[in-house]
Amino acid sequence: MLKNLALRGFMASGPIPFALLIILGLSPTQALWATLVLSGAALSGLSLTTALLEPRVGPLESLALAIPLGALLQALSFLVIGPAFDARLILVMTLVISFMPWLSQTRRYRLGPLRVPWGVSIRMIALGTVTAGIGALSFLLRHRLNWSGPLDINDDIVYHEALMGATQSGWPVHSPLLGQEPLSYHWLPHLWAAFADSVANLPPFASITRVLPLLAISGVLVAAVAWAKRLSPHRCAAPAAVVGITTVGVIAKGPQIGQPLPLESPSEVFGAMFMLVICLAVWMFRQGDLSRLAYAIVLLVGFFGLTGAKLSQAVVTLCAIGALALGSHVRELRHRDLGVHSVGLVGFSLGFIVFHFRGDRHDLSIHPLESLTTGLKAVFNLSPSVPSALLTVAAIVAPLLISLRVLRRNSDLRVFVLGAVGSGTFLALTITSPGGSEGWFLAAALKIVIVVAAVGLASVIDDLRPRNVVPLWRAVLSALIGLGCTMMVTVSYFFDVGLPSTTALRLVTLLTGASLAGLVFLRRPSWWGVTAGLFLVASLSTVLDSSILAAGNIRLESEEHTFDAVRSEAFVIGAELHDASAPNDLLVTNRFCRDARETWPGCNTKWFEASAASGRRSLIEGIDYAVGTSPPREILRLVELSERAAGTADPVALSEVYELGVRWIWFDRLISQQPDWGQFGNVRFSNDLIVIIELSPTLATAAQRRGE
């Protein structure tokens, strides 16, 4: 029976990701192992959900709960026993552990939730995969697996590679940029990516940009479809949900910006599947298809995983559930649901203690007056940030307007969405960050609104159009109108001056195109037609921005660009250092600025090439990311110590960093002339850009003498 279950599971989830991974550049062997990891997550989750779900629950809901649950089991198993066992053995062990509750059930009970969701659900997931692939075209073109320096790699991906390397040494997880501090930055998705990397023997770059997005997008699509079906019986709800959640982003904000599932942020995509599964579980519970115990377990585990993946999404979802619980209590004067809803707060608190309570510092802070003052100044001074803000507001308004169609009929859903949007907006306005991280609170609310808006769109189409099938020419003409207006907006970003470059023209173009598209499709003028057209235009805008301008984002490195670009040669030598070093070895570097010609302080410190390429932790690197824009005194000492040790081979500094656990020096030739290491270090690897020095154990004696 286990053989039959495994065969059915692989047939359901195996060939499609295997083919996609081959297309995306993995070798057949790598794609096979990566597919086994993906299928293993689904099978483990499906086995565990048999203890939670009633037989009447459909396979779609089972699969939606299973994917994040199985991934969480794999990641935590790798964290706890990874240093002692091979990753492939851990994959087998997770399957064995997850099958135990499944085997303990009766034959009738265990087969119910394990039905494969064929038919329309599979077609909807395939549709979402296609639309997500179109939106990801720009990202994939800029992040090819065979990149060789001339291709431009997003800095955030390099940072995520550094985070992924930091999770491979077991518990506790330490910061890659501040090696002596615990990591407190959403390391759960990077932990799962490290597990997939270890099983499939992938380059970290492939695991971050190929395997993790495939798992996360699959989880998001299944959860979005299942929740949309729970919210509405309309046949258009499911396809609208999968297209919306993969395309409806910030309307025409600029080329390749504003996708709802941004692949540059693995934590955002990975967390989205946990967030939507929690939303699905809320409605399963309220509709009587999830027991109080099962709902409590889903909230506990779901919020623990979501807090570890994306804290902003966890906060927004928790506020939405809190608003729903309080709203139900006020209207119905019932207390029985308040207790079980509060389990979500327990899961959130547990996740916060594990993932965020201690560790490296960040620059997210609450300054409401400062935020509001800055915003008002931007408006009065017509700051360049105003157009961005207007288009961001339009991105929320587009799905929110169409969602009113269903929200006005469902009071519970209205309170839930109000809690999400209200908390997301409040936090986005009152929290400040030099990197704009406060915007992720609004992005979390947007994902919830998109699924609800898809149900509203289905309702509009079903209620307002004639009962006969819409002619193909009307659908095509409506799509062409939307494509035309979004094309005009996309092209406008090539103009620097004049009317075509103004935000006002872009907004007028989008609104006009939305009105015409809705009028053509629904055959008559209607307010709901305009909102439906605006929702359509929002999705087309993101798709066009990603596909048309994708090739333009591949920039050949000029000689000037070599001073601040991510370099493939560094990753080649970093792989050699990774193989030669121990997991707990620290390294120091002489480079702290993005531009090698600049000196710290007073430069852009968004630079983490050493830790990303080597998979080893740095004593200090990427200063702003590690500690924020105001480093404390002890951090300043670490920077000075690193500069003396790596840049000038100062014997006292070398002995001190050796005492702190540093065993390697990552010397960037663009910074300065290589010093004479003498008896304190030996050159192990070198190329035209990087020199790797292994520190001599004699430094331990020198450190001891210095202490005496």
Over residues 70-123, the pLDDT tens digits come to 999 999 999 988 878 888 899 888 888 777 765 665 444 444 444 445 454 556
The span from the CA of 44 to the CA of 31, in Å, is 20
Phi, psi torsion values for 525, nearest 5 degrees: -70, 140
178 and 55 fall within a common domain? yes
430 Cα distance to chain centroid: 23
What is the DSSP track for 243-300?
HHHHH--STT-STT---SS-TT-HHHHHHHHHHHHHHHHHHHHHTTSS-HHHHHHHHH
Q: Report whether 621 contacts 635 (CB < 8 A).
A: no
Q: How many Cβ atoms sit within 10 Å of the Cβ of residue 378?
A: 15
Q: What is the DSSP string of 148-176?
A: -SSS---HHHHHHHHHHHHGGG-SSPB-S
State percent of the chain over pLDDT 90.
21
Cα 414 to Cα 410: distance, rounded to the nearest angstrom: 6
CB 476 within 8 A of CB 262: no
DSSP one-letter string for 497-513: SSGGG-HHHHHHHHHHH
Count of C-beta atoms within a 10 Å radius of residue 479: 15
Note the pLDDT of residue 457.
80
Confidence of residue 530 (pLDDT cuts 50, 70, 90): confident
- What is the reported pLDDT for 429? 76
Answer yes or no: is 173 within a domain. yes
User: Has residue 290 got a pLDDT over 70?
Assistant: yes
- pLDDT at residue 9 is higher than 60: no
**pLDDT at residue 394, as a whole number:** 61
In terms of domains, do 19 and 163 share one? yes
> What span, in angstroms and rounded, lies between the C-alpha atoms of 618 and 175?
8
Q: How many structural domains is the chain composed of?
A: 2
The helix or strand, by DSSP H or E, that contains position 330, with its residue range, turns out to be helix 311-332
User: Among 143-152, 236-245, 515-524, 657-666, where is mean pLDDT lowest?
Assistant: 143-152
Q: How far apart are alpha carbons 398 and 355 in whole angstroms?
A: 35
* 439 shares its domain with 579: no
Tell me whether residue 424 is exposed, middle or buried, using C-beta atoms within 10 angstroms of its C-beta: 0 to 12, 13 to 18, 19 or more: buried
The whole-number average pLDDT for the span 633-655 is 88
Instruction: Let me know whether 576 and 442 are in one domain.
Output: no
Could you tell me if residue 518 is inside a domain? no
Does a structural domain hold residue 551? Answer: no
- The set of residues, in sequence order, having a beta carbon less than 8 Å from that of 189 and lying 6+ positions away, is 212, 216, 266, 267, 269, 270, 271, 309
423 part of a folded domain: yes
In this predicted structure, which of 262-266, 445-449, 542-546 has the lowest mean pLDDT?
A: 542-546
The count of residues in the chain is 708
Task: For residue 328, give the H/E element and its range.
Answer: helix 311-332
Q: Regarding predicted confidence, which is higher, 474 or 69? A: 69
Do 21 and 144 share a domain, yes or no?
Answer: yes
Q: Of 285 and 435, which is predicted with more confidence? A: 285
Residues 6+ apart with CB under 8 A from 436: none
Q: Tell me how far apart the alpha carbons of residues 296 and 150 are, in angstroms, rounded to a whole number.
A: 51
Rounded mean pLDDT, 312-341: 80
pLDDT tens by residue, 135-181:
666 677 667 777 655 445 677 888 899 999 988 878 888 889 988 88
Residue 485: per-residue pLDDT = 77
| Residue 525 belongs to a domain | no
Last residue within a domain, chosen from 421, 449, 477: 449
pLDDT of residue 533: 74
For the chain, the distance separating the N- and C-terminal CA atoms, rounded to the nearest angstrom, is 68
Amino acid (1-letter code) at residue 133: G
Please spell the DSSP secondary structure of 551-601, one letter per residue: GGG--PPPTGGGGSS--HHHHHHHHHHHHHS-TT-EEEES--SSSTTS-SS
SS3 content of the chain, % helix, strand, coil (to 5): 65, 5, 30
Say if strands 431-432 and 586-589 run parallel, antiparallel, or are unpaired. Answer: unpaired
Output phi, psi for 143, to 5 deg.
-130, 55
Please indicate, yes or no, if residue 508 is contained in any of the structural domains: no
Pairing of strands 586-589, 617-618: parallel
Q: Write phi, then psi, for 85 (nearest 5 degrees).
A: -130, 155
Of 317 and 468, the one with more pLDDT: 317
282 closest CA partner among 412, 449, 450 = 412
Distance CA 458, CA 494 (A): 35
Banded pLDDT at 318 (limits 50, 70, 90):
very high
Q: Are residues 432 and 287 in the same domain?
A: yes
Q: Decide if 514 is inside a domain.
A: no
Q: What is the mean pLDDT of residues 255-276?
A: 82
Question: Does 472 have pLDDT greater than 50?
Answer: yes
- State the Cα angle at 623 between 364 and 150, rounded to 5°: 110
Q: Which residues pair with 554 in a beta bridge?
A: none
Q: Are 302 and 347 in contact (CB under 8 A)?
A: yes
Of 395, 419, 449, the last residue of a domain is 449
Q: Quick one: average pLDDT of 5-23?
A: 62
Could you give phi then psi for residue 25, rounded to 5 degrees?
Answer: 115, 0
The fraction of the chain above a pLDDT of 70, given in percent, is: 74
**27 pLDDT more than 50:** yes
Domain ends where: 417, 449, 481?
449
In a domain, 479, yes or no: no
Q: Which domain holds residue 98?
A: 2-449
Q: Comparing 92-96, 151-155, 325-329, 614-618, which segment has the lowest mean pLDDT?
A: 151-155
- pLDDT value at residue 396: 64
Q: Give the pTM.
A: 0.86
- Judged against a pLDDT cut of 90, whether residue 199 lies above it is answered with yes
Same domain flag for 440 and 564 = no
Mean pLDDT of 632-646: 88
